[in-house]
Amino acid sequence: MGLGGHVTPLFEIAKTMQHHNVTFLTSKLAQTYINFDAYTSPSFHIIYSNDSPDAFLTEKNQEEELWSTIANLSIINAWPFVVPVFADMISLLLKKTIQTLTNEHFDVIVSSKMIIGVPVLCQKMNIPCVIQSPGVMPNMFDFNLPNTFALTTTKDVTRLSSRLYNVAFTLRMLTKIVPTIVPTLYLFLQSLPQVPGPFYDSFTIKNLLFSNSKCLKLISMPMRFYVPTYSTQYTKYLGAFVDETFIVDQDTDLNQWVKSKPSKSIVYGAFGSTSLISYNRMLNLTIGLTNFLLQTNHTFLLLAFRRANFNTYQAVLKDLHSDELKNLLLDKNRVRIEEGFIQQKWVLQQESVKIFLSHCGMGSLLESIYFGKPIVCMPFNVEQFSNAITVENLDVGKSLFIPPSAWQSFIDPYNFPNYEFTFDSVTNNMMTLWMNGTHENAVKFMSLEMKYAGGTKRAVEEIEFFVKLNGDLDRFESFQSTLPFYQRYMFDLLLIYILLPGTILFFMIRRCCQRSTKQKRD
């Protein structure tokens, strides 16, 4: 997919596979987030899903129109708008993939989790399949785990009341989702390509739902982010996919400004590729950040806005009544505002940056933790709200989003896009992270965990090993998981050693009691 959070981790893996011939297939929208021209290698070949000259502008306009439409909608209400757009993107990618597979031979296919249908193609071609995912949320049907849609945490599910709420919330969520998701999923399945040839009937409902393709899953998040978990032979938690050897220190005005500041003195803010900040939110954000600068000495502010948000910021700046705030924001030494995307990994890598103000998309969140920067979360949609709650639960940052009561969340599940915050909450959260070292230490330890997990280097090693074993890792399956259900949970032993003797003892006691009663009557 050409969306930033999906294409960037795969590109990081592709760059690390420099000793292999890599064909990188994506949509032209990816050029918004990645400068492919800056990376040149004779073993790297890029293919776009749409080769037409106006493909980039078409995809870019389509993206902007979509996100402006769903900006104030919940994930459930946004579903009918999102699915048709994603279906078109995925269909184009699958068509181009089929064309490429017809003409070339590959040892392995590495795909984003979003590209539904790739495991089916791999099974058809007998090619090892690797699926990359930015994160994996806990199973909402496992009521012993936190429900990310209900915003419950690991601390909550230790209580019976929270586990009961998890069940009720899941049932309520299903009543909201099913009427919306079923028709759109049908349209999505209808949109999948039927290319003449060996792959013509690949994307049937039966194949998509019941494919037995064994894919290696590479998860680019810490093992204990949502809930402590562990890797298995087919699922590997590898931390953020960041290869620091490819982070280039360009000689630009921005880079010089960042490097000129003292250690741990900059608040850096960026809000992703799809987030739209309303005027009121921008006003409170701007005033809150400026008040923070006024209350602290030798602090600096760097904000990166996409075009629409940049225009909103300019409108807020123009409307500010306080000359003190306006003059501070116009001080180019203390405040720097960038329009468009900047080298985020390079900025977060710098010692001068102390706090990251983020929309809490998984990609940006993991990069921030990887480089040891505490986070102030300002979520907008999708998984960003559950990410914000998790950030607070892990003590690696603070959140401007205050979750509603359990009852409000139950009535209208996961519908938070229109939440509000005050400028005081912005200032207070910034001051808490600035003055309290607890969060910095928590981020430091999680950063160590992520780097120890291996990232892109480990991902490439796992892929190479997977290919050498012809895509079969069953030999590493734990012995216990190979046992039948009744043996795994020792039901056969319980039957023989407890239930059977207990039953015999019960009837013996009953027989004795009946005999004793009869003797008394006689």
pLDDT surpasses 70 at 378: yes
The 3-class SS string of 146-157 reads CCCCCCCCCCHH
N-terminal to C-terminal alpha carbon distance within the chain = 87
pLDDT surpasses 70 at 57: yes
**Distance from C-alpha of 256 to C-alpha of 15, rounded to nearest angstrom:** 27
- Position 259 in a domain: yes
Nearest 5°: the CA angle 376, 319, 297 is: 45
Let me know: does 300 contact 328? Beta carbons within 8 Å: no
pLDDT tens, position by position, 238-254: 988 887 776 777 788 99
Nearest 5°: the CA angle 216, 220, 223 is: 95
Query: Would you state the pLDDT for residue 117?
Result: 86
**Distance from C-alpha of 310 to C-alpha of 339, rounded to nearest angstrom:** 6
pLDDT surpasses 70 at 375: yes
Cα distances (angstroms) measured from residue 453 to each of 238, 370, 371, 425, 446: 5, 11, 14, 35, 11
**Are 380 and 502 in the same domain?**
no
Classify residue 188 by burial, with Cβ atoms within 10 Å: 0-12, 13-18, 19+: middle
Top-confidence residue, 283 or 225:
283
% pLDDT > 90, the chain: 46
Let me know: does 112 contact 10? Beta carbons within 8 Å: yes
Let me know: does 170 contact 251? Beta carbons within 8 Å: no
**Are 472 and 489 in the same domain?**
no
Residue 129 — φ and ψ, nearest 5°? -115, 130
Query: Would you state the pLDDT for residue 383?
Result: 86
Low-confidence winner among 25-39, 201-215, 283-297, 479-493 (lowest mean pLDDT): 201-215
Residue 396 — φ and ψ, nearest 5°? -95, 5
pLDDT surpasses 60 at 128: yes
**Are 270 and 377 in the same domain?**
yes
Residue type, 128: P
What is the layout of strands, in order, in the sheet containing 216-219?
109-112, 129-133, 216-219, 235-237
**Are 130 and 54 in the same domain?**
yes
Segments of 435-477 assigned E as strands: none
Q: DSSP 3-state assignment of 368?
A: helix
- Number of structural domains, the chain? 3
**Distance from C-alpha of 118 to C-alpha of 98, rounded to nearest angstrom:** 10
Query: Would you state the pLDDT for residue 109?
Result: 95
Residue 475 DSSP label: G
Q: Residue 33: which pLDDT band, with cuts at 50, 70 and 90?
A: confident
Of 345, 380, 455, 383, nearest to 135 by C-alpha is: 383
Displacement of CA 331 from its chain's centroid (Å): 36
- Position 169 in a domain: no
What DSSP string describes 188-222?
HHHHS---SSTTTT-S-HHHHHH----PEEEE-S-
Q: What is the mean pLDDT of residues 469-497?
A: 89
Q: What predicted TM-score, i.e. pTM, was given to this entire model?
A: 0.88
Structure tokens at 46: 């890029």
Cα distances (angstroms) measured from residue 231 to each of 138, 220, 366, 487: 14, 12, 18, 23
Let me know: does 370 contact 376? Beta carbons within 8 Å: no
Q: DSSP 3-state assignment of 241?
A: coil
**Are 277 and 368 in the same domain?**
yes
Query: Would you state the pLDDT for residue 2?
Result: 55
Of 71, 77, 82, nearest to 418 by C-alpha is: 71
Structure tokens at 521: 């009557």
Query: Would you state the pLDDT for residue 221?
Result: 86
Q: What is the mean pLDDT of residues 213-229?
A: 87
Q: DSSP 3-state assignment of 397?
A: strand
Residue range of the domain that includes 402: 245-453
**Distance from C-alpha of 106 to C-alpha of 129, rounded to nearest angstrom:** 11
**Are 436 and 463 in the same domain?**
no
Classify residue 398 by burial, with Cβ atoms within 10 Å: 0-12, 13-18, 19+: buried
pLDDT surpasses 90 at 158: no
**Distance from C-alpha of 309 to C-alpha of 326, rounded to nearest angstrom:** 18
**Are 460 and 379 in the same domain?**
no
Let me know: does 120 contact 210? Beta carbons within 8 Å: no
CATH number, domain with residue 461: 3.40.50.2000
pLDDT tens, position by position, 295-321: 998 899 999 998 889 999 999 999 998
Return mean pLDDT, the chain: 88
**Are 436 and 327 in the same domain?**
yes
Q: Residue 216: which pLDDT band, with cuts at 50, 70 and 90?
A: very high
Largest Cα–Cα separation, the chain: 108
- Position 163 in a domain: no
Beta pairing class for 375-377 and 266-270: unpaired
**Are 363 and 400 in the same domain?**
yes
pLDDT surpasses 70 at 433: yes
**Distance from C-alpha of 63 to C-alpha of 31, rounded to nearest angstrom:** 13
Q: Residue 394: which pLDDT band, with cuts at 50, 70 and 90?
A: very high
**Are 382 and 431 in the same domain?**
yes
- Position 124 in a domain: yes
Q: DSSP 3-state assignment of 224?
A: coil
- Position 172 in a domain: no
Instruction: Please list the helix, strand and coil fractions of the chain in percent, rounded to the nearest 5, in that order.
Output: 55, 10, 35
Q: What is the mean pLDDT of residues 21-44?
A: 87
Low-confidence winner among 236-250, 280-294, 428-442 (lowest mean pLDDT): 236-250
- Position 231 in a domain: yes
- Position 147 in a domain: no
Q: What is the mean pLDDT of residues 283-302?
A: 95
Residues written for the chain = 522
Top-confidence residue, 182 or 457:
457
% pLDDT > 70, the chain: 98
**Are 271 and 335 in the same domain?**
yes
Q: DSSP 3-state assignment of 335?
A: strand
Burial readout 9-47 (b: 16 or more C-beta within 10 A, e: otherwise): bbbbbbbbbeeeebebbbbbbbbbbbeeeeeeeeebebe
- Position 44 in a domain: yes
**Are 232 and 352 in the same domain?**
no
**108: number of Cβ within 10 Å:** 17
Q: Residue 135: which pLDDT band, with cuts at 50, 70 and 90?
A: confident
